């Protein structure tokens, strides 16, 4: 059994990383990053079967694709703290000449990143291609992907969702960050999408829900169940119900912190609510 | 003057199909994707021989480009097939982010480019695709001229590591390049020697340039015809060497003058050796329905139009 306390400590440290990264450059997307901190920590530490060193082709390991690239702070923090690059490099986030671009890219050669993302709606297609490459290679590992709920308004997703079930891409687990928020407001205000669960099911996917998407045990159990559903002829969708801005009280339950950095005072409050565990970068 | 003849006409898309079929037999990493246009792209043979390496994505080009990008992660070499319009304009951001910016080894293979698509009209006749693709950093842009060269180019791009846009067409056109001619990306091919004018042509316009040079030769004008099958990277040396001798140039392409081969040539000349240049290209316009020959005549993209531009450019020397 994983040591939940250790994972919780890591999550707290990742939250500190996120806050400090976006504060330093007064830009970036803390809300969605904080909401997915537990998911990333669980994914990279317990769920995925990963090789020690990074190789673009990722033969013989599980792979992850981030489609909603604006939550790069949580991605970078967890990649660094999983050993892909030095944690000190988090200091360079969004600065000139950095490998840590505002949105993730392979262009600068940052280990751990296999595709550029940021322009929304493209990641599921890429994940499907990587999953089909695994099948061609006789590689039984899993492809994981993460998508925002607002991102599902992009039509390419539905081309991909239709294709994945039609072609029985059953080595794919696509997680939707169901935080109900997007830049202009709640998803229900901006463009109500009805039942996302119903839509995925109608498109032929196996759909699982993680009601407590900020609870590490719930995530571990839910993702283990998702994994047990792979190889059954259907792609697997996980609806991860998260709270945007989770772990920093004034950032929670609002879209206000989607793409806004805290000021000095707000940073201090946020860090006070997440005391240092594994050491700041 | 070297005279080119032909015994057979074939469509360049069939050259693509033949090249892809050969790759299916020789390179196990080559995979193919199509958005509901297998017959039009002549992909049948590859599919028949390698069904497990073919992905029919349906009418969903954006998804196709993303899947192709993903397939490279795992070492595959994906060839996507659809019309040029749906290979570029429709999916520009998918190509830009998931393929070009991500540096993925995807071969975007585009048929029915330009006016010679014919009767379907302007919705399908893209004349902006070369510009769209050449503007993407790291993208190689190739527009071969006949069946043999398209087949050779298809085979050659599998060996090139990086994104490629391969443009070809629908109509049957003369086969005049040698079947055994090796395709070198970025290496222009000089077809005739001449002293009075350089004609740099790409795609279907190469044969028209040869026809024009024959007629010009009879009038005492010696034209140096260069086949620029690779628009990016451009063989600047070949162009500059020729213009140093002839002192003027006509560029010819089945594309808008904005963003096309002509603009790339003009930049090369401006930076290195300014010289009079005339453009055979569409003039910032959409196409329309008609037969390929009617359209090429109406929009000034045939040997007669080249002859007129040659006379004009020589008078500007």
d(CA B178, CA B6): 11
In DSSP terms, B223 is beta-bridged to: B197
Judge whether B57 lies within some domain. Answer: yes
Q: For B90, name the nearest residue in chain A, comparing CA atoms only.
A: A156
Is residue B1 pLDDT above 90, yes or no? no
B209 plus B309 within the same structural domain: yes
Q: What residues make up the domain containing B277?
A: 189-315
Is residue B299 included in any domain, yes or no? yes
Model confidence pLDDT, tens digit, residues A120-132: 999 999 999 999 9
Torsions phi, psi of B211, nearest 5?
-60, -45
**Cβ-Cβ contacts under 8 Å, B31 against chain A:** 136
* Confidence at residue B249, expressed as pLDDT on a 0 to 100 scale: 98
Burial class (CB in 10 A: 0-12, 13-18, 19+), A249: exposed
Tens-place pLDDT, residues B159-185: 999 999 999 999 999 999 999 999 999
Contacts of A116 in chain B (CB under 8 A): 97-98, 101-102
- As a whole number of angstroms, the distance between CA A235 and CA A254 comes to 31
The predicted pLDDT at position A1 comes to 61
Instruction: Give domain status of residue A249, yes or no.
Output: yes
Residue B97 with chain A: CB contacts under 8 Å: 116-119, 122
The CA-based angle B158-B163-B169, given to 5 degrees, is 75
Chain Cα centroid distance, residue B227: 10
From chain A, the residues in CB contact with B52 under 8 A are 136
- Listed residues B121, B140, B174: the one ending a domain: B174
Q: Which domain holds residue A192?
A: 4-272
For residues B311-317, give the mean pLDDT: 98
Tell me phi and psi for residue B160, to 5 degrees: -90, 130
Please state the φ and ψ torsions of residue A58, each to the nearest 5 degrees: 55, 40
The verdict on a CB contact (< 8 Å) between B69 and A115 is: yes
Q: Is residue A278 part of a domain?
A: no
Strand order of the sheet with strand B107-111? B54-56, B30-34, B77-83, B107-111, B164-167, B140-142, B230-232
Q: How far apart are CA A125 and CA A136, in angstroms?
A: 17
Contact predicate A249/A15, CB 8 Å = no
Pair B203, B143 in one domain: no
Identify whether B234 is part of a domain. yes
In this predicted model, what pLDDT tens digit does every residue of B125-142 receive, in sequence order?
A: 999 999 999 999 999 999
Residue A201 lies in a domain: yes
Task: Return the percentage of chain B with pLDDT > 70, whole number.
Answer: 100
In terms of domains, do B20 and B148 share one?
A: yes
* Catalytic annotation present for B61: yes
Check which CATH number belongs to the domain holding B272 and give it: 3.40.50.920
Residue B159 CA from chain centroid, whole number: 18
A281 is a domain residue: no
Q: Examine the domain organization and report whether B194 and B140 are in the same domain.
A: no
Number of domains in chain A: 1
Give dist(CA A255, CA B302) in Å, integer.
59
Q: What gap in Å lies between CA B95 and CA B67, rounded to an integer?
A: 11
Is residue A277 in a domain? Answer: no
Select the residue from B74, B79, B96, B163 to test the A interface by mutation, using most A Cβ atoms within 10 A.
B74
- Give the model confidence (pLDDT) of B8-64 as tens digits: 999 999 999 999 999 999 999 999 999 999 999 999 999 999 999 999 999 999 999
Count of structural domains within chain B: 2
* pLDDT > 90 fraction of chain A, expressed in percent and rounded: 98
Both B138 and B212 in one domain: the answer is no
Judging contacts by C-beta atoms under 8 Å, the chain A residues touching residue B100 are none
**Average pLDDT of the segment spanning B294-305:** 98
Clarify whether residues B68 and B166 are in a common domain.
yes
Residues B166 and B97 occupy one common structural domain: yes
Q: What letter does residue A150 receive in the DSSP assignment?
A: G
Which of B8, B48, B52, B61 does the annotation list as catalytic?
B61
Residues A2 and A220: beta-carbon distance below 8 Å: yes
B137 touches chain A (CB under 8 A): no
- Whether B264 and B300 share a structural domain: yes
Same domain for B153 and B274, yes or no, is no
Mean pLDDT of B300-306: 98
What is the ipTM score, two decimals? 0.97
Report if residue B184 sits inside a domain: no
- Classify residue A279: in a domain, yes or no: no
- End-to-end Cα, chain B, rounded Å: 23
Of the residues A126, A166, A168, the best mutation for testing chain B's interface (the one with the most B CB atoms within 10 Å of its CB) is: A126
Residues A152-176, mean pLDDT to the nearest whole number: 98
Q: Tell me, what's the pLDDT at A47?
A: 98
**Residue A133 sits in a domain of what CATH number?**
3.40.50.970
Residues linked to residue A208 through DSSP beta bridges, in sequence order:
A238
Assess B101–A contact: CB distance below 8 Å, yes or no: yes
pLDDT digits (tens, 9 = 90+) for B180-210: 999 999 999 999 999 999 999 999 999 999 9
Residue B123 and residue B32 in one domain? yes
- HEC sequence for chain B: CCCCCCCCEEEHHHHHHHHHHHHHHHCCCEEEEECCCHHHHCCHHHHHHCHHHEEECCCCHHHHHHHHHHHHCCCCEEEEEEEHHHHCHHHHHHHHHHHHHCCCCCEEEEECCCHHHCCCCCCCCCCCHHHHHHCCCCCEEECCCCHHHHHHHHHHHHHCCCCEEEECCCCEEECCCCCCCCCCCCCCEECCCCCCEEEEECCCHHHHHHHHHHHHHHCCCCEEEEECCEEECCCHHHHHHHHHHHCCEEEEEEEECCCCHHHHHHHHHHHHCCCCEEEEEECCCCCCCCCHHHHHHHCCCCHHHHHHHHHHHHHCC
Determine the distance in angstroms separating the CA of A163 from the nearest CA of chain B, rounded to an integer: 7
B214-230 mean pLDDT: 98
A76 in a domain, yes or no? yes
Read off the DSSP letter of residue A273: T
Contact of B293 with chain A, judged by CB distance below 8 Å, is answered with no
Least CB–CB distance from B55: residue in A56, A114, A132? A132
Kindly report the length of chain A. 281
Average pLDDT on B90-114 reads 98
Nearest CB to A115 within list B52, B60, B102: B102
Give the pLDDT of residue A2. Answer: 74
Under the banding of pLDDT at 50, 70 and 90, the label for residue B285 is: very high
Asked whether residue B115 falls in the same domain as residue B263, the answer is: no
Residue B290 lies in a domain: yes
Number of cross-chain residue pairs from A and B with Cβ atoms under 8 Å apart: 119
Q: What is the spatial distance between Cα B34 and Cα B16, in angstroms, rounded to a whole number?
A: 13
> Is B3 within a domain?
no
Residues of A in contact with B101 (CB under 8 A): 105-107, 116
In a domain, B264, yes or no: yes
CA distance A167 to chain B (A): 9
Q: Is the Cβ pair A134, B74 closer than 8 Å? A: yes
Distance CA A81, CA A86 (A): 8
Residue B66 CA to residue A133 CA, distance in Å, equals 13
- The answer to whether residues B15 and B162 belong to one domain is yes
Domain assignment of residue B267, yes or no? yes
Q: Å from A274 to nearest chain B CA?
A: 35
Q: Average pLDDT of chain B? A: 98
CATH of the domain at B165: 3.40.50.970
Contact A156 B94 (CB under 8 A): yes
Backbone angles phi, psi at B255, to 5 degrees: -165, 160
CB-count burial class (<10 Å; 0-12, 13-18, 19+) for B48: exposed
The pLDDT, as a whole number, for residue A39 is 98
């Amino acid at each position: 059994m994983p040591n939940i306390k250790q994972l919780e400590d890591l999550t707290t440290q990742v939250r500190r990383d996120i806050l400090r990264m976006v504060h330093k450059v007064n830009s970036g997307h803390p809300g969605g990053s904080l909401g997915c901190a537990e998911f990333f920590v669980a994914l990279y530490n317990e769920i995925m079967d990963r090789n020690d060193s990074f190789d673009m082709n990722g033969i013989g390991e599980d792979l992850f694709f981030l489609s909603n690239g604006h939550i790069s702070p949580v991605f970078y923090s967890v990649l660094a703290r999983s050993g892909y690059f030095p944690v000190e490099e988090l200091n360079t986030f969004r600065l000139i000449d950095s490998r840590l671009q505002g949105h993730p890219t392979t262009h600068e050669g940052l280990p751990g990143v296999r595709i550029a993302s940021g322009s929304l709606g493209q990641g599921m297609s890429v994940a499907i291609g990587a999953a089909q490459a695994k099948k061609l290679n006789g590689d039984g590992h899993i492809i994981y992907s993460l998508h925002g709920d607002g991102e599902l308004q992009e039509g390419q997703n539905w081309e991909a969702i239709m294709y994945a079930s039609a072609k029985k891409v059953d080595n794919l687990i696509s997680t939707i960050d169901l935080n109900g928020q997007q830049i202009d407001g709640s998803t229900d205000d901006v463009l109500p999408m009805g039942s996302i669960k119903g839509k995925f099911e109608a498109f032929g996917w196996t759909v699982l829900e993680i009601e407590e998407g900020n609870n590490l045990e719930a995530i571990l159990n839910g993702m283990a169940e998702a994994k047990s559903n792979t190889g059954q002829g259907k792609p697997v969708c996980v609806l991860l119900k998260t709270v945007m801005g989770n772990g920093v009280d004034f950032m929670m339950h609002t879209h206000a912190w989607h793409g806004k950095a805290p000021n000095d005072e707000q940073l201090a409050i946020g860090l006070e609510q997440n005391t240092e565990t594994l050491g700041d970068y | 003057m070297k005279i080119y003849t032909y015994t057979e006409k074939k469509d360049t898309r069939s050259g693509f199909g033949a090249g892809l079929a050969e790759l299916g037999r020789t390179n196990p990493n080559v995979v193919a994707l199509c958005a509901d246009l297998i017959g039009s792209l002549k992909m049948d043979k590859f599919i028949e021989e390698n069904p497990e390496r073919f992905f029919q994505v349906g009418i969903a080009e954006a998804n196709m480009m993303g899947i192709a990008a993903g397939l490279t992660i795992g070492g595959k070499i994906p060839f996507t097939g659809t019309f040029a319009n749906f290979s570029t304009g429709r999916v520009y951001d998918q190509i830009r982010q998931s393929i070009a910016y991500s540096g993925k080894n995807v071969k975007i293979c585009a048929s029915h480019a330009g006016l010679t698509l014919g009767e379907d009209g302007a919705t399908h006749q893209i004349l902006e695709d070369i510009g769209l693709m050449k503007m993407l950093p790291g993208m190689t842009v190739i527009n071969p001229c006949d069946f043999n060269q398209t087949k050779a180019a298809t085979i050659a791009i599998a060996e090139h590591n990086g994104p490629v846009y391969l443009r070809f067409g629908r109509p049957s056109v003369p086969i005049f390049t040698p079947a055994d001619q090796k395709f070198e990306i970025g290496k222009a091919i000089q077809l005739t020697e001449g002293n009075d004018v350089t004609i740099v042509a790409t795609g279907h316009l190469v044969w028209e340039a040869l026809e024009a040079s024959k007629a010009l030769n009879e009038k005492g004008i010696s034209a140096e015809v260069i086949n620029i099958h690779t628009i990016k990277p451009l063989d600047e040396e070949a162009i500059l060497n020729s213009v140093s001798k002839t002192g003027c140039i006509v560029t010819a392409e089945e594309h808008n003058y904005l963003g096309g081969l002509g603009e790339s040539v003009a930049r090369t000349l401006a930076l290195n050796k300014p010289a009079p240049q005339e453009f055979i290209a569409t003039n910032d316009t959409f196409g329309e329905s008609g037969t390929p020959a009617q359209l090429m005549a109406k929009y000034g993209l045939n040997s007669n139009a080249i002859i007129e531009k040659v006379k004009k450019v020589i008078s500007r020397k």
